Copies of this chain bind each other. A is one copy, B any other.
Amino acid sequence: MSSTATAVAQHGQTGRGDQSVEAVRRILDEARKDGRTALTAPEGKALCDAYGIAVPGEALAKSADEAAKQAAAMGFPVVLKIVSRDILHKTEAGGVLVGLKSADEVKRGYDTILANALNYDAKAVIDGVQVQQMLTGGQEVIIGAVTDDSFGKLVAFGMGGVLVEVLKDITFRLAPLDSQEAMGMIDGIQAAEMLRGVRGAEPANRDALADMIVRVSRLVSDFPEITELDLNPVFATAKGAIAADVRIVLDFAPKAARPRPSREEILASMTRIMRPRGVAVIGASAEDGKIGNSVMKNIINGGYQGKIYPIHPKADEIMGHKAYKSVKDVPGEIDVAVFAIPAKFVATALTECGEKKISGAVLIPSGFAETGNEEGQIELQEIGRKYNIRLMGPNIYGFYYLPANLCATFCTPYDVKGHAALSSQSGGIGMAIIGFSRSAKMGVSAIVGLGNKSDLDEDDLLTFFEQDDETHIVAQHLEDLKDGRSFAEVARRVTKKKPVVVLKAGRTAAGAKAASSHTGALAGNDRIYEDVFKQVGVIRARSLREMLDFARGIPKLPTPKGENVVIITGAGGSGVLLSDACVDYGLKLMTMPADLDAAFRKFIPPFGAAGNPVDITGGEPPKTYQNTVRLGLEDPRIHALILGYWHTIITPPMVFARIMVEVVEEMRAKGIEKPIVASLAGDVEVEEAAEYLYAHGIPSYAYSTEIPVAVLGAKYQWARGAKLI
């Protein structure tokens, strides 16, 4: 029994026992012995039987009564077939009857078949009659499993026929999974409604389908050698689900698992890298324009308080710090070494770092896998593993960790401290993160370049930021995941505590091609990324700007306590666009209870619109915004507010901004905190108002009705995934 099987069995979720596992093992061993890479139909059926995956029932009856009993057990209608080595042409012999619908019909059918057979060949030796369940009606669906290079075992579910073939209406999840996740798959396809009964059809038994998905997920997880499994079609009826055809592909030479340190090991290394006692700059330089000079300046000017050790073959001192020829000459402790030397010198210096027991190497130099120098990168990986040095990069801009005032990078220093930790696979995107953050005054805890990801990758960062109190949200740009399974496992845990936003580049075929020419990374199937992110609670950003807006806005918002969103707007036109955006971003506009409607009406003109949006109309004074927003915050049935401001002379932008902040602070003093976002329509003064509101915890956008709602929608998406609402 594999360790996964044991784990699942211990959770008590499986109906299978050791016996089932052994039955499967025997069949697979047989196939392995024969050198086969696929199972026969009877073997496939036997695997299904062992794991409780329903296939059409079949049995051999020796009497009419037995046939009737067997048929009743497997369900009507059934097919009867004569079983006799002497009768090859069964139909010709009158030895086949289809569509028998009752025990009586089966009994009579048995006798008829026997009589026909003996009539056909009086000397035939009759073994009996095969009773076979006949599949009719219901919906045809597909349940399957594949093995992805990055994510490992995945189960798939889709509707049969053109829906999956033409419309690609199929969904994936990591295996194994539980029945709730399986039900999420069934509800998650585009044509989900079909299983609830359309055009007068009976609804399918969705529980039976979910159960079959769970069982498939366990089977493929228990036996890594099962690389592909297809149940196609599965007949889904009101009664249950039966797989009409089973196809199983095997591979007995599984890939070696990627080396993976334990959580404790990752944290030990990452903590030394992020909060080092001493930093070595290998290739430090006093000469302006050199990367080693920029790194020195940034570390010093960034305000890092630990020891700084410039490493240089000749210099005695660089920028006020004593220089050394090698890290091995440094008397004190070094936790991290930043490399600012050409590619060809890196391996030697890295070995010295190993001998010095340095924990992390920040490999800024390019000239490795991204330029075709795979060997050079493998050499570094081997040195890293030998000496237990974690490698960041190569081919990166370095990293920032602001709680330690550490700017270990050749870019400009960054000093707006906050709680967003960002990372990027690409240097260009890293620069965009820095520029946007500075421009938008987005407080960050960290910005990390991952580049070629020879070692440290997204899940190492997630593991560190999970327990880093200075980080409240993690946003990652990535083009591929070297180990999607590991990322998913860590992300599933982290997203329970902190939002994780991912911008997955290479979404499209064209993008994937560009990604592969760029980093040599094989971009995975985007549908799988999409589904796995959903499964583990990761928020997927659709564009670079969206990732940045999410990273900036989400941590500003308190977690909502429920789904009821109310729009309060001075501009009716904004109200319409904000409502559109609510649908786009999965927000639920509260149906306004009569008493609350009446309460809002007290504050707004008689021709203001009822319901939700609350349209206070355009000509209102600050008091009207104040009263309605206060009511929205005070009433416990409302969980989040979207404000639509319209610039007027009566309520100028900064007046609006200040009273909004006042109301929010007044409520906060009473212990009331709800997420609020705002859309500001008006002349250029609204830009200052938006900035003021943002700085005071209300993500606000000028000239946009979509972005504020997208940010609130992302917060909700996270809260739902983390089961906080």
Contacts and interface: CB of A to CB of B under 8 A. Distances in A.
Given A573-B518, A646-B427, A703 B510 contact: no
A215 B704 CA distance: 44
A644 B432 CA distance: 11
Nearest to A397: B618
Interface stretch (A272-280, A541-549, A555-563): A541-549
Given A167-B167, A426-B573, A509-B583, 16 more contacts: A162-B191, A162-B199, A370-B572, A426-B576, A427-B618, A439-B684, A505-B573, A508-B583, A508-B584, A511-B580, A514-B578, A517-B609, A544-B705, A545-B704, A545-B706, A545-B707
A589 B510 CA distance: 8
Contact of A583 (B199, B510, B615, B618): B510
Contacts of A427: 571, 573, 618, 646
A618 B579 contact: no
Contacts of A681: 428-429, 431-432, 435
A73 interface: no
Contacts of A294: 649
Contacts of A49: none
A687 interface: yes
Most chain B CB within 10 A, of A193, A580, A681, is at A580
Contact of A644 (B428, B439, B574, B580): B428
| Copies per complex of this chain | 2
Nearest to A519: B572
Interface in A357-408: 366-367, 370-372
A153 interface: no
A190 B166 CA distance: 9
A649 B167 CA distance: 48
A581 interface: yes
11 contacts: A167-B191, A411-B683, A428-B646, A431-B682, A434-B682, A435-B681, A435-B685, A509-B583, A514-B576, A544-B704, A545-B706
A393 to B, nearest CB: 14
A683 B434 contact: yes
A309 B139 CA distance: 75
A412 interface: yes
Interface residues of A, number: 99
Given A162-B199, A432-B703, A435-B703, A543 B581 contact: yes
Q: Among A198, A646, A681, which residue has the most Cβ atoms of chain B within 10 A?
A: A681
A507 B580 contact: yes
Contacts of A428: 569-574, 618, 644, 646, 681
B577 A611 contact: no
Interface string A484-508: 0000000000000000000101111
Contacts of A453: none
A633 to B, nearest CB: 21
A696 B545 CA distance: 24
B370 A514 contact: no
A194 B372 CA distance: 43
A482 interface: no
Interface of A: 161-163, 165-167, 190-191, 193-194, 198-199, 289, 294, 366-367, 370-372, 411-412, 424-429, 431-432, 434-436, 438-439, 477, 479, 503, 505-511, 513-515, 517-519, 542-545, 548, 567, 569-584, 589, 606-607, 609-611, 613, 615, 618-619, 644, 646-647, 649, 681-687, 702-707
A511 B166 contact: no
A519 B425 CA distance: 48
Contact of A573 (B425, B543, B589): B425
A706 B165 contact: no
A285 to B, nearest CB: 14
A305 B436 CA distance: 44
Nearest to A479: B576
Nearest to A451: B573
Given A371-B607, A705-B543, A505 B684 contact: no
Contacts of A584: 508
Contacts of A503: 577
B431 A607 contact: no
A649 to B, nearest CB: 7
A424 B544 contact: no
A576 B705 CA distance: 28
Given A167-B167, A514-B613, A429 B519 contact: no
Contact of A191 (B166, B613, B619): B166
A55 B575 CA distance: 49
Contact of A435 (B545, B589, B682, B705): B682
A571 B583 CA distance: 35
